[in-house]
Amino acid sequence: MPRILVTGGCGFIGRHVTAELLENRYNIRILDGFIDQVHGDAEAAISEEVEIVRADIRDRTAVREALRDVDGVIHLAAEVGVGQSMYEIERYVGANDLGTAVLLESMIGLPVKRIVVASSMSVYGEGRYVTDAGDRVDFVRRTAEQVRAGLWDLTAADGGRLIPAATDEDKPVDLASIYALTKYAQERQVIIFGEAYGVEAVALRLFNVFGVGQALSNPYTGVLANFASRLANSQPPLIFEDGRQRRDFVHVFDVARAFRLALEQQAAPSHVINIGSGNSYTIAEVATLLANAMGIPEIGAEILGKARSGDIRNCFADISRARELLGFEPRHRLESSLGPFTKWVRSTSAVDRSAEMKRQLEKRGLVS
């Protein structure tokens, strides 16, 4: 059986990737730093078939040992969260970019055939837009003045309307946060390394991942987990801006399968590939769907009318390349997957730290 090293394999996505690989007869070794903010009692959820190395991704000796006799690598180890990245800059750059550099340098001279790295939709900044005439717009941002005035939707240079469109991989990157910067650096390091050393390299740009096992007490994790944590504590979800911003929500089962396919498919190397559901939802719509699924629609949501530094308005995935290169097709829509998710939320402990997150951002002037 091929042996795969999964860095960050005890995190939310990593546990599901590990389960997917085990089901498909891979031999798995995990390297994970077990960060309290993210993991909780994660090790208990890992199969006894899996070898676990407890170490920071920047520990050269541990990384080199974890790579022993490995055929492939799935690199998930990273600090995650746009908001926190804007003030814990050293932490994010160190773990994400230096950590990736240590991993790649440790791979030199080893017979690793393929590496798949987790990148992020955040590298796009704003997603694709088209004008009323159908012309594509690559670069567009809101000014600080527009945000402070509550002018949430983007407009063309001539003041005309811009319509959000599915974002494909050819859309140029526009890095709007430290987190986005680190994820882009990770994917480019991996692709450049692969070309230089003859290692097959793939980068998957993940959209908003949700599912059982998210860190409900980490306010910088996915929006669905944040909303679930608030609702489980009888508090309304906190929604920045006006709630009409659009995102793509992809189930972690689909994401795990995408990583396996990226290890296996011959057409994948040297590509960056979107992994999303191909659907878009407003954030307010997601809050309503979740409250209904949890049986507490009367709680509603708190619309803050403020924006966080580094946030974008709209971004959702065009997954044509994933279909073509990986044979990937999402199987779990948000609307039909909230039942199992909410059942799990009710069975676990969720400490609501959203208000503290908001205070931390406001204290540093990162909310306007």
- Residue 285 C-alpha from the chain's centroid: 20
Angle at 274 between CA 269 and CA 276, to 5 degrees: 140
| CA–CA distance, 318 with 322 (Å, rounded to integer) | 9
Is residue 87 annotated as a catalytic residue, yes or no?
A: no
Decide the pairing of beta strands 129-131 and 136-137.
antiparallel
Non-local CB neighbours of 138 within 8 Å, separated by 6+ positions: 171, 172
How many residues in the chain? 368
- Residue 283 C-alpha from the chain's centroid: 16
Angle at 122 between CA 121 and CA 124, to 5 degrees: 80
Place of tokens 């994400």: 96
- Residue 2 C-alpha from the chain's centroid: 26
Q: Is the dihedral of CA 336, 254, 167, 342 positive or negative?
A: positive
The dihedral over CA atoms of 178, 182, 184, 189, expressed in degrees to the nearest 10, equals: 160
- Note whether 137 and 131 are within 8 A (CB): yes
Catalytic residue chosen out of the listed positions 26, 92, 179, 184: 179
- Residue 258 C-alpha from the chain's centroid: 13
E strand map for the chain: 3-7, 27-32, 51-54, 72-75, 114-120, 129-131, 136-137, 162-164, 200-206, 208-210, 238-239, 246-247, 249-251, 271-275, 281-282, 302-303, 314-315
Q: Tokens standing for 244?
A: 């009409």
Q: Which residues are catalytic?
A: 179
